[in-house]
Structure formats: C-alpha cells, structure tokens
Structure 1
Amino acid sequence: MTKFRRLAATVLGAALFTAAGTADAQQPRTLRIAMTASDVPTTTGMPNNGFEGMRFLGYPIFEAMVLWDLSDPSKPADLRPGLAERWEQDPNDPKTWIFHLRRGVTFHDGTPVNADAVIWNYDRFFRNDSPQFEPAGSGITRARTPILESYRKIDDYTVALTTNRVASYFPYMVVYHLIASPQAWESAGRDWARVANAPAGTGPFRLSRFVPRQSAELSRNDNYWDTARRARLDRILLLPMPEANTRLAALRSGQVDWIEVPPPDAIPSLRAAGFTISTGSYPHVWPWFFQMNGDNTPFKDVRVRQGLNYCVDREGLVQLLNGTAEPSVGWLKPSDPAFGNPQNRYRLDPARGRALLAEAGFNAQRPLRFRVMISTSGSGQMLPLPMNEFLQQNLREACGVEVDFEVTDWSNLLTATRSAWNTPVVANIQSLNPSSPSSDASVMARYFLRAFQPPNGFNWPGFSDDQFEAAFSELEQARDPAAYTRAYARAHERVVDNPPWLFIVHDLNPRAMSRRVTGFVPAQSWFTDLVPVTLQ
C-alpha cells in the first residue's frame, strides 16, 4: 500500500470513527458523502476547493441575495430570489442594481439579516482595510466578480451594487456573494480561523462539527426562513476522498452513502449491485488553457491552437470514461442556442491538425513541445491523471506533439489560473488544465474578456479578440432576450474560431449512491439541492 493510500485509509477511518456515534444514533437520516476534494473546503462562508466547495460547504449553509433554481432537471439551472426577494437595474443608471432584502430572516445565531449585515460582508470581500477583511475569501469572490465597483446601503432592507460596465448578466455574479453572520465573527474574537469552527449563515443546514482535513458535519436548520424548503435529513457528513478507488471502496463497504465521480470502469458493476448511478448534461467543460502571452509559449499562433483542436481524440476519451462525458468542440455545447455557427467544427482530423502545425513551423524534425499543469483530483476534474495520460499519447500518435506534465494539487492549480503568465508559479508552464463552468455569460466574461486577465479574473491565456469584445458589449447592454442570444452566439463563435483553449470534453456529472438515498434531483448545474434528499 502506498503512503498516500495508507494516509487516505487512516483519515477515512478516523473521520468515520469520530462521527460513528452520531451517524449510528441518527440513522437512517445521516447522509455520508465522499467528495473528490483532497481536504475539507473552508467553512467560514466562502469555501475553497472550487465549486465542489460551494456545492457542499457553501450553499447548504450560506446564501446570497440571489440563488440558483435547482428544481427542474429538464433545463439548465437559472436564478431565483434568495436573501433578496427581488432586484432590478436602476432605470436611470444601468450600471447600478438595486436589491430588496427579505424581512424576518435570521442567521443561525439568531441575529437579523439586514442591509448592515450585507454591507459588512461586502466590506469583508471588497475592502482591504475593513476589520473583517478575509484575504482568502476575498480572492475567490473578487475573481468571480471582477466588475463590482461600489456598493451602498439605501435603507435597512435595500442595497445598491454598482458595476464598472453595463452588465445584463450581473445577477449571475451576485449568486456567489455568500452572506455570513457578523456576530459569529465577533463571537470568535474577530478571528476567521476560529470562525471556521462555528460560522453562521442562513441556509437550510448549519455547520455542527468541523475536523480539519477529516470531515465536516452539517445539521438541519429547523428555523430555516423558507418553511416549504426545510431539509428532510437530520445530518450530512462530508468526507474528502481525492482517490476514486478509495471513494468506490467506501461506497461498496457501506461506509458512505454517496460518492462524487465514481471510477467509470466500476459503473456497470455498481449498477448491477443495485447502486444508483446519476449522470446528466450540465454546463461544464474540461479543457486545457493555452498561454498566449510572453516569449515562452507556442500558442501566440492561432494555427497552433486550431491545429491541436483537430488532433484530439475526444470520442476515445469518452470511451475511456465509459460514457460519463461527451465531446467538447467549444465552450458551450452544440445544442446550446448560443453555440452559434463557427467556421471550425473540431473533430479528430490528424491530417488537418498536422497541416496547421506545419504552417506554424512545427513538424517531425521540429515537434511542438509544451508543458501542462494538471491536478491529481478536484471539483469537476473527473479522473485527471488517466485522462491526461490518454491525451499525451493521443497527441503524440496523432500529430507528433510532445506534452509534459507538472502535477499539482487542485487548490494550487486554481491559484495558477488567477496568476499572471510571468509569475513564478506558472513561469515554465504553457498550458493549464482546470475544469470550468459554462453556465452563463457572466462566466464567459471572467474567462474571455481582455479586461479580466489575472489578477482581475480567469482569462489566464490572455485572450484578446476585437470581434469577441464587440459582440460581448452588445450582450452586456441587451434588454431583449433574442438580441442577447444573438450577441452571445457571435461571441462564442470567436471563442471557437480563435481558440484560447483546447476543447476536450464536457463531463456528465456522474455520482453513485446507495439505493437508500431518495429525493435527489439531478439539476443541470454544478450545484446540488440537498433539501429534498433523504434516506430510506
């Protein structure tokens, strides 16, 4: 047994032993979930570990003024009112959005949610000199909302947020502004490290126990403000298990009830054994980012970027994943109304790929070589090591391309995506392999607008395209849905034809559960509604 496997087994055993009394006492109403994260996401109200952190240690405990509507699995998730019962653009200033807060909502510690509490949280994220400033949470929130310019209280239950550009999609950014109790910070001696053990949000669950690097336990919030959406479970135990086979063994042995991303080759046997396998299309893409800045990169030439997109055996990779993914030929899926009509419809075409690379000066005598930073696991990463090894062999055999890897932790990879091309963490890296949501235009803004190159956003490649900028400007100012979609499609066409990414696959959000788990709704979203879930 490797050192890593021994450590994983020890941590799993300790976590399950720690929670054993609670779990046994609460059965059958304690749901045990094995996450892909290598650590328990942070618990202060802005979790790390990407969107898996938001899925399990974000929205169940904390809420934003705007929330995702995860009720209808037949369509991509849209927005619904959260701590704000409604919002609108200021008719006299389209850069300003006005949010009207619900009355009578309290945090888990009993203190009220009002405009002062909301502004306190915005100071926590966006004002470096505020006493409550939280650097880690601020970095995550600012990267997801690079256009927020100012905010203010209008009255006790109304706040205004102003952006630095007109942005029709701005509520899709507000959905990530989680609101935590100011009193919890005061009670913890104004120390965020201590808040981690006893935070207070407004969500349907509250954090009842946190063991760093081992587990987090959530308990039902019996006083949740939305009485129609009070949780059915008593408790949820969250366990980090980055290794797929460790998660699989835990599920089969009955140590957990639910695992994220089961090993694809185990899915048939899990089904045969009576486990529930959930898969479905959702807005997510697994790419490689191309670095287009600096001298230490071959990706300034669009022919190199297009050529590589014709060298990828996407169907072979989908087969490796046992059908738990689908080929990606753009940021959006071809079925999306905003996919558009790009000139390039990428497929495995080695002759075309080699020809484009040869035009750019790369051939058998001078092969294209570059280095990709990849992770061992992580939110939305599926099985990154075997997937990347497949791509490494595929690109060598199809187009004579030589790829090396720098393997790192998921959190380090996320840090790299927010780092400029000339910073030490990515100094010898020409490509990154983070997975990305593709849920709405606000995400497209963060990844592709030239204004949002690090540290202002996630445009790590340095993508800069005048036609994209013009189309996106029309999208930002559109008030008519048809005009919005037309502009969105034109913007997406440029992302495909002038590709800053190697488009590889969209995964199908696989998870495996005990047959005892009922009530789960497989929303077309990164996020999961744990409220209707229960155990038989």
Structure 2
Amino acid sequence: MRLQKTAIVGALMLSTALPATAETLRWARAGDALTLDPHAQNEGPTSALAHQIMEPLVMRDMTGAIVPALATEWGPSPNDPNVWVFNLREGVSFHDGAEFDSGDVVFSLNRAMTPDSDYKELLASVTEVRATGPATVEIVTNGPNPIMPNNLTNLFIMDEGWANANNAVKVQDYEGGEDTYAAKNANGTGPYKLVSREPDVRTVLTINEQYWGSNEFPMDVTEIIYTPIQNAATRVAALLSGEVDFIQDVPVQDLERVAGTDGLDVRTAPQNRVIFFGLNSGDADLANDNVDGANPLSDVRVRKAMSMAINRDAIQQVVMRGQSAPAGMIAPPFVNGWNEEMDSSSVTDVDGARALMEEAGYADGFTIQLDCPNDRYINDEAICQAAVGMLAQIGVTVNLDAKPKAQHFPLLSNLETDFYMLGWGVPTYDSEYVFNFLVHTKGERYGSWNATRYTNPDLDMTIQALASETDLEKRNAMINDIWTVVQDEALYIPIHHQVLNWGMASKIGTIVAPDDTAKFKYFEIE
C-alpha cells in the first residue's frame, strides 16, 4: 500500500526517483547529516541517519526510554563498583556479513575517546574498555559512574575489521575539513543498509534482511530515500504533492495547511532541546566587534543586559507562532537538574538593560557579528533576525551572518565566532551532559562545544566529580550549584524550548520522539 497516492515530480527531486510504494518512505528535513563517521559529529540529524544504519549498546526507543540494542543486559559489577558489565547480543552480523563481537565494542569505544571524536565527553570518566569474552565487555571508570548507560545511547559500534581495511581507524577531523572513507560509507548492524550517498542531495537505504530484530520490530519500511530540502516552502510543497511522505520540520506558518490536507497529519510534542545564544566572554579582545583592546562580552553586566533585551514572548508569538516555550536556562524540562525557577528567570526589561550597559561603560553600545545557522533549527535565521532588532534597542548593533550548519558549526569548534546561536538536546537526560560539553573548560576530554572561552577550574572539578558521585541527593545538589554559577555568570542567553512538528502521510503509524530522532524500524504502515 502506498504511503501517498500521488508523486508529482518537482524540481527538488531527481528525475530518476521511483514512485513511492508501501515499503518506500521518502524522508526530508532541512539539513543533511554532516558525515557518516559515527564518532565525528555529535549533531542531531547526523545521529538520526546513523541510527538507521548503526547501533549502540543501548538506545532510546521512540518514547525516550532506554532499551537493549547490541547489549541485552548491563549493570555494575558485583565485584567492583568502578566497572560496568555489558552482555552482548549474540548472532549479530554487520551488513557485509562480518560477525559482531566484543572486539568491535572495545575498538569503537576507544575510537570514540580519541581527540577528533565529538563524543569523548560522554566517556571522559572511562579509564579502560576491555573484552572479558566474545560476548562480554567491561567499561572501567574513574570512580563509580551512576549514569554510564545513559551516556551510550548514541555511541555507535563499528566493525573493527572494516575500519582497518578501509583506513577508517582514525575519527574524521570534520572541523579540519578532512574527508575519509568512513565519512561517506558505513557498515553497521542496524535495520537498514546504505545503498548510495550523495551528501546534501540524496541518501538511499534498504532493509537489512539479516537484521537481528526483524521479528521484534514492525520493519514495515523497507526502503528509505532521504532528501535534504533547505527551503521551507519547497519542503512543504514536496509533502503536499506526495513527493515526500515524512518531514520532521514543518514550518510553523504551514502547520494548519498541512494538518488540513486530506491524507496528511501533523504530530506534535515538546522536544528535548533548548535554543540559545553563546557569547565569547573569555578572550581579552574580540575579532568581530568595534571595541579596540577590550571585550564587552567579558562583563557580566553586558551579558545580562543582552539577555534582558531579548523579548522571548514576542519570539514565541510572532516568529514561532506559539510553537515554543520561552526558556531561562539551557536545559529542557526533560533533564535531571532542570529548575522551574531558573527556567522562568528570563525577563524582558529594556530600560534595566540600558542601565546595565551604561554601568558597564557601554552606554553608546557597540557593534558585533552574530553567527547563525539557516538550516538546523526551527526558524533559526528568523530568530536571529528578531534578536538583531531587539538588541538594537540597547545600542548593540548586530551584523547577522547566517549560513548552512555545515559551515556554522566549525566556527564554534575552531573558536572563530564571538556571538552565535546553538541548540542543545540532552540524550542522557542529565545535566552532566550539558556541563561536560558547554560549561567545562575546552580541553582534551571536555568542553568541545564550549565556544564561550569561559574557564573556571573550581567549577571544572565539580563537573568532573559528578561522574563518580553515587549519592544521588548529593549529586543533585552539586548539579544545582553548577547551574547557579552558570545562571549568575550569564554564560549563555537562553531563548526557548523547541516544539516538534512532524508532518507525514496519515497512513504512517508513529509517535513523535522527544529527541527528534525517527527510528524507522518502529514505524508502521497501514
């Protein structure tokens, strides 16, 4: 049975595309995966594509619950509290027929801890990964780690033999512009196999007939054709015409139109993601401002003034058309450590902001560049445009530079931006994830997404101590203390919590996953 009755070929689709069938699902979203290397980029759409092809030891299902994947059982060792033991699924093979075993897990997790990996923070407490049998792995940590399984849900397992044969042992240096075999090819254990890959154009996957879970999941989708469509109007037109069956990012201005179309549904849920602005508060001088020999963003009064100038309610109502929830902290309500009082702390006060600017010595304001993606978050460029006008009210003249995420994200990693937009989801559902990536000093094993240049050695020690604190009441108190510092220092300017709107053919059966990751093995087709 077809997912959609018609398939009118438009300019956005390749002329060679075949009509959709019951088994074919045509999937589109604003941006493509950045790479197929499973450890190179910790980025939502990149992980979403990887989840179709590869698998972690444990994963989150469509409700957000942790469920078995390549591991069937796990738990702390009864003999050593610093060791987690994982019993692996037996009889699993990679897409090329190679057998999966503990050696692949040891190889993959060690690979994910190397400097070019974008997942190393998740394994920062790990001192050793060892195989104690062909189907058993032990992860040794520096002190007991109470949330280790939470850290593994997006850490994909590679075939060690395939990596060695294809010069893919080293993680791709994405920020450095490196291109590798693993960036465009993949050999996983997942429900779908890679057929072809044209970055930013088209990726085709087909069902893995040997998948271990064939009898455990619906597996109604047997072919996936993934087409990035950056332009919102074109993306919606493709859904309305039947050229695609599923889009993850229905523009807020088109929600009623899609929902009112026969044969189409819009399904909505809160997302585990916050949108915010980051500021370079650590450098002595900025490259992209008009203040010589000083950094206005290093003054907490300026950072607070800029936050106070942002009218989040206006952004919610005008830019997002109600499809967002104003935020006061850079953690979503899903996350352990989220605090309702902190999350409601952002208040618009232009007069108060002007007073703070004057007190800080910037009564006449300054000029700065805002770097913004235009194909990653819902209405990302429009949010940045709104912020430009709001900041102008306190004398901050903002030059907006919006570009695709593939060019935007390296600015953060390479510390080439002073003022930027970022969105952050928390797959571990714990604040430690936020702190490890965004608050800890940028270094070898922490802070890879901390482009603020903020450093606080005492705070770093507290963040690292979270990994081994098993007294949950004490641990939660530590988390609250860290958040208090983050809030007091105004390290980031929270904007809002995203709301997900998935548009799809009505015959597709699925719920909306809070992490915005569609795992198609769960989808049912009427």
* TM-score, reference length from structure 1: 0.83
**Residue 247 in structure 1 maps to residue 243 in structure 2:** no
**In 1, Cα distance between equivalents of 2:343 and 2:258:** 42
Cα distance, 1:156 vs structure 2: 1.9
8 Å CA contact 2:33–2:47 kept in 1: the answer is no
5+ residue gaps, structure 1, are 1-8, 129-137
- SS of the equivalent of 2:119 reads helix
After superposition, the Cα gap between the structure-2 partners of 1:488 and 1:374, relative to the gap in structure 1 and judged at 3 Å, is same
**In 2, Cα distance between equivalents of 1:144 and 1:415:** 20
Cα distance, 1:465 vs structure 2: 4.6
After superposition, the Cα gap between the structure-2 partners of 1:247 and 1:342, relative to the gap in structure 1 and judged at 3 Å, is closer
2:210 to 204, 223, 233: 223
Aligned residue in 2 for 1:326: 325
Aligned residue in 2 for 1:114: 101
Cα distance, 1:220 vs structure 2: 2.0
8 Å CA contact 1:184–1:198 kept in 2: the answer is no
Aligned residue in 1 for 2:91: 104
**In 2, Cα distance between equivalents of 1:33 and 1:195:** 23
Cα distance, 1:324 vs structure 2: 1.8
2:412 to 407, 417, 434: 417
8 Å CA contact 1:40–1:239 kept in 2: the answer is no
Cα distance, 1:317 vs structure 2: 0.8
Q: Deviations over 1:444-498 (max 9, x none)?
A: 2323443445784222213345775576456433324444433333322332222
Cα distance, 1:383 vs structure 2: 1.8
Q: Deviations over 1:365-388 (max 9, x none)?
A: x2143222112212xx11222111
**In 1, Cα distance between equivalents of 2:182 and 2:458:** 47
Aligned residue in 2 for 1:202: 189
8 Å CA contact 1:40–1:214 kept in 2: the answer is no
Aligned residue in 2 for 1:31: 25
CA RMSD of aligned residues (A): 3.1
Equivalent runs, 1:300-319 vs 2, <5 Å: 300-319=298-317
Q: What amino acid sits opposite 1:375 in the alignment?
A: P
After superposition, the Cα gap between the structure-2 partners of 1:190 and 1:322, relative to the gap in structure 1 and judged at 3 Å, is closer
Q: What amino acid sits opposite 2:24 in the alignment?
A: T
After superposition, the Cα gap between the structure-2 partners of 1:335 and 1:437, relative to the gap in structure 1 and judged at 3 Å, is closer
**In 1, Cα distance between equivalents of 2:334 and 2:197:** 42
**Residue 53 in structure 1 maps to residue 31 in structure 2:** no
Aligned residue in 2 for 1:80: 67
Q: Deviations over 1:377-412 (max 9, x none)?
A: 12xx11222111111012213x23211223333123
1:285 to 257, 270, 274: 274
Aligned residue in 2 for 1:131: none
Aligned residue in 2 for 1:3: none
Aligned residue in 2 for 1:43: 36
**In 2, Cα distance between equivalents of 1:94 and 1:494:** 31
After superposition, the Cα gap between the structure-2 partners of 1:461 and 1:94, relative to the gap in structure 1 and judged at 3 Å, is farther
Cα distance, 1:80 vs structure 2: 2.5
**Residue 514 in structure 1 maps to residue 505 in structure 2:** yes
After superposition, the Cα gap between the structure-2 partners of 1:454 and 1:412, relative to the gap in structure 1 and judged at 3 Å, is farther
Aligned residue in 2 for 1:369: 367
Aligned residue in 2 for 1:5: none
**Residue 69 in structure 1 maps to residue 58 in structure 2:** no
* TM-score, reference length from structure 2: 0.84
- SS of the equivalent of 1:404 reads strand
**In 1, Cα distance between equivalents of 2:371 and 2:391:** 16
8 Å CA contact 2:275–2:422 kept in 1: the answer is yes
- SS of the equivalent of 1:435 reads strand
**In 2, Cα distance between equivalents of 1:196 and 1:329:** 37
Q: Deviations over 1:498-534 (max 9, x none)?
A: 2211111111122211223x22111222322322323
8 Å CA contact 1:453–1:462 kept in 2: the answer is no
Cα distance, 1:175 vs structure 2: 2.2
Give aligned pairs, total. 493
Q: What amino acid sits opposite 1:220 in the alignment?
A: I
**In 1, Cα distance between equivalents of 2:368 and 2:200:** 34
Q: Counting helix residues as a fraction of each chain, which structure ranks higher?
A: 1
5+ residue gaps, structure 2, are 1-9, 170-178, 286-294
1:407 to 402, 411, 419: 402
